[in-house]
Amino acid sequence: MSLNRRVFLGTTAAASAAMAAPMVMADGHGKPRVVVIGGGAGGATAARYIAKDSKGEIDVTLIEPTRTYYTCFFSNLYLGGFKDMNDLGHSYGGLAASGVNVVHDWAVGVDRDAKTVSLAGGGSLGYDKLILSPGIDFVDGSVAGWDITSQNAMPHAYKAGSQTELLKAQLKAMPEGGTFAMVAPPNPYRCPPGPYERVSMVAHYLKNNNPTAKIIVADPKPKFSKMALFQEGWGDHYDGMIDWIGEEFGGGSVSVDPGAMTLTIDGEETAVDVCNVIPAMKAGHIAEIAGVTDGNWAPVNAVDMSSKADADIYVLGDASQQGDMPKSGFSANSQAKVCANAVRGALTGSKVFPAKFSNTCWSLIDTNDGVKVGATYEATDEKIAKVDGFISQTGETAEVRKATYEESEGWYAGITSDMFGAKT
């Protein structure tokens, strides 16, 4: 019975594709070409799904400068000592094996008329569809006294890798009873619970290694993601260690001096030992170069993640301005699958199914104390709109929190194999 069904589906698909000729919508150069810029949760997923599902009908090239991708998600757990840096690193070998042409270079230009992408290494790649998934860059001047040349003295550690290792080294080198400061970012930014999970992980490290140390958080926002859960957890696990200074207490009026290692909040200067500055964010620079941004982000159509500025360009993940979804790896991965389905449909006539999006963000507060928030989304004419959601409750049992943490580990293994192909 299922065999009959399979055969039936196969023939109808072939027949309808034949009727919807031309089957290959490439402009006189053989196979249609997709170029993906950025090999993170959005780009790697999109490249893998288009290559996998088109079964060789589409040439897929992924441009990503780094040879090992360190996930930003779970990098706080490295700061807390729950993960090694190696646990966060992933190679692109699995993508290459699944048929993606992986180019380790920087994309430095996009010519939308000629439909080409130029590379720092000198070459240029033609495309029929271009997918931008460049993640975030920082807004110049958003934290007075800080710019990218200060990132060694005051790391952002908001692109995982050497910055994360640097912040961990500084945390370890803190004097006894020293002060760890964080300047939290304004909305919207990558990973809404991220700064607060980081505070929790830093507190976990300090509680075990430097228990008289203090943590100051200067925050331009009046409230933040999972606030009740984090504040409950900070009280339970790290009582008195964390001083969160929100908008109403001047947390948004901040300057830093990376040379003197001081942080000034609402006119009051404090000497700090470590200062984690997470500036305001914008779409990765290549989106700006491509001319698809409006303000800090790249507006997209919810139905397929296509840019509102160019129907042959798609923008995924953190860089996109899509509506209600948080900027997270899970969101980018979810958006990539909708986009891959649409791109494949446009280039080969394969069936395009309705967009469905979802997201869940897990955060770790202390050992075996995991919490999560999630939602489902749909495409409307205006935006990606939230349908339904849930959040962990305060006062949950230790058993529930432990199960939530274990689930997050399962999710990490799941999403990374969904992005990069199964581990062999």
Partner 1 sequence: MRALRFSLSLILAALATATFGQVTGDPEHGQQVWKKCAICHMMGPDARHRVGPVLNNIMSARAGGKTDYRYSKAMTAAGQDGLHWTEDTLDGFLQAPKSMVPRTKMSFRGLKSAGDRADVIAYIGLFSGGAMAAQIDDGFAVSADILAIEGDLEYGEYLSSECTTCHQADGNDDGIPAIVGWETEDFVTAMHAYKEKHRDHPVMQMITGRLANDEIAALAAYFKGLGD
DSSP SS3 for 179 = strand
Give φ, ψ of 298 to 5 degrees.
Answer: -105, 110
Q: Which helix (H) or strand (E) holds 93?
A: helix 93-97
298, 283 Cβ separation under 8 angstroms: yes
Choose the stretch contacting partner 1; rule: CB under 8 A; options: 233-241, 248-256, 260-268, 329-337. 329-337
Q: How far apart are CA 257 and CA 150, in angstroms?
A: 9
Q: How far apart are CA 196 and CA 399, in angstroms?
A: 22
To partner 1, the closest distance from the beta carbon of 124 in angstroms equals 32
To partner 1, the closest distance from the beta carbon of 392 in angstroms equals 8
Q: Which of 112, 376, 385, 396 touches partner 1 (CB under 8 A)?
A: 376
Instruction: Report which of 199, 219, 216 is spatially closest to residue 273, judged by C-alpha positions.
Output: 216
- Under rule CB under 8 A, residue 409 binds partner 1: yes
To partner 1, the closest distance from the beta carbon of 378 in angstroms equals 8
Give φ, ψ of 190 to 5 degrees.
Answer: -60, 135
To partner 1, the closest distance from the beta carbon of 54 in angstroms equals 13
DSSP SS3 for 90 = strand
- Under rule CB under 8 A, residue 411 binds partner 1: yes
Choose the stretch contacting partner 1; rule: CB under 8 A; options: 63-71, 87-95, 192-200, 384-392. 384-392
To partner 1, the closest distance from the beta carbon of 112 in angstroms equals 29
Q: How far are the Cα atoms of 54, 55, 128, 250 from residue 344, in angstroms, in the given order?
A: 7, 11, 11, 50
Choose the stretch contacting partner 1; rule: CB under 8 A; options: 197-205, 220-228, 309-317, 383-391. 383-391
To partner 1, the closest distance from the beta carbon of 44 in angstroms equals 13
Q: How far apart are CA 104 and CA 387, in angstroms?
A: 38
How would you list the strands of the sheet with 268-271, edge to edge?
254-257, 262-265, 268-271
Interface map 331-370 toward partner 1 (x if CB under 8 A): --xx--x---x---------x-x--x-x-x----------
To partner 1, the closest distance from the beta carbon of 354 in angstroms equals 9
- Under rule CB under 8 A, residue 380 binds partner 1: no
Triad 404, 366, 211: Cα angle to 5°: 180
Footprint on this chain of partner 1 (rule: CB under 8 A): 1-2, 5-6, 9, 13, 49, 53, 330, 333-334, 337, 341, 351, 353, 356, 358, 360, 372, 374-376, 387-390, 399, 402, 406-415, 417-418, 422-424
